[in-house]
Chains A and B, each alone.
Chain A
Amino acid sequence: NFSVDNDVRSSFIQRRLRSQERREMQREILSILGLPHRPRPHVHTKHNAAPMFMLDLYNTISTDAEPPGYSYYKPVLPTQVSPMVTPQDSRFLDDADMVMSFVNLVDQDQDLLYQQHRREFRFDLSRIPEGEAVTAAEFRIYKDFIQERYENETFKVSIYQVLQEPPNSEVELLLLDQREVWAAEEGWLVFDVTDTSNVWLVNPEQNLGLHLVLEDSNGQTRNSRLGGLVSGSGPQDKQPFMVVFFKANEVRFRSIR
């Protein structure tokens, strides 16, 4: 029943676990990780933008913390869009106990039919464990190079928090962050949404999402695709997402079993 793998774990003599032992082992490790059950994600491709960004963050930590000789445990995935992790992210990471990325819940194709000049994004922040305080939060969207525009043409990208969505009237918006971008620019645009994340955590009913508005140099509202902003049917490794950095504000004890 003993086997020795001819790979990186060759120094460890292994015994195949019986199914009962395996279940016990899984239960113990889940308890150590502080998880009530094994997560069952419906999408688990590691090549989407958010997992790739998170893996970059993971590798940033691992480089510092792991002892020599353990670096080969790091999974190497292709990074088509880089660098995703900014020096500011590294600073946030140093201070964080946990980082979480959130997928956009808005069906972008439906959104396209409904809103031509305003993009909507929604993120479910309700599954954050208790006792975690937000230290920083970012909304990230990819800006592609657009060949058909003049290189020196500029656009203004604005991110708004939706305050109210009254039926049969205009939505009430709060401007969070704004950025001027060149048509020739390419890379991730990062918007600070820390204050909004804190509001949403305290009052989940106020989480009505974010709106993105693109304006040309004449102040005319344009379709975000025109400015090269990727979402919806764009490549998976360039889809917008939200990332939140947390710090535990209390000592947590594992539950008694």
Chain B
Amino acid sequence: SAHKGRQSNRSKPQRTVQDALKAVEAATDNLGISKEGCKKHELYVSFRDLGWQDWIIAPEGYAAYYCEGECAFPLNSYMNATNHAIVQTLVHFINPDTVPKPCCAPTQLHGISVLYFDDSSNVILKKYRNMVVRACGCH
């Protein structure tokens, strides 16, 4: 406020990006914007259904999961948004044609091991890191 002095401004805590976000969320709540946020979805990859039982010994398949959903206001807590994602959302909100929304992507990944025969009937046990999505979030 132009009417208030410098001293009173100093004693007042500064507004954070999160505060701004809350205000925008409150404003957009009434606009009917989709709330289907960024979430983890189930996807089972079955090696058996792919007809690979003759060479993949284990596992029979694995729960791969994938991330899908909107990274737009309101960014609810379950979206696990990074600070940068919040800034990205704000800038996108201001300039939607040139600045993209944050991306709904894995934030935590886990590995699996696959046991299989090669062409020579040797057996390979390989550890694949980052194969299974544990958590999704907005980046």
Contact = CB atoms under 8 A, between A and B. Distances in A.
A40 interface: yes
Interface residues of A, number: 44
Interface string B87-108: 0000000000000000000000
Contact of B50 (A29, A55, A97, A98): A29
B66 to A, nearest CB: 12
A39 B55 contact: yes
B44 A12 contact: yes
A149 interface: no
B24 interface: no
A86 to B, nearest CB: 16
Contacts, number: 114
Given A40-B119, A99-B124, A127-B122, A22 B62 contact: no
Contact of B110 (A17, A40, A65, A103): A65
A26 B52 CA distance: 9
Interface string A85-98: 00000000000111
Contacts of A102: 122
A39 B119 contact: yes
Interface residues on B, range: 35 or more
A256 interface: no
A61 B59 CA distance: 12
A216 interface: no
B108 to A, nearest CB: 12
Interface stretch (B10-18, B30-38, B74-82, B125-133): B125-133
Contacts of B119: 39-41, 127
B57 A75 contact: yes
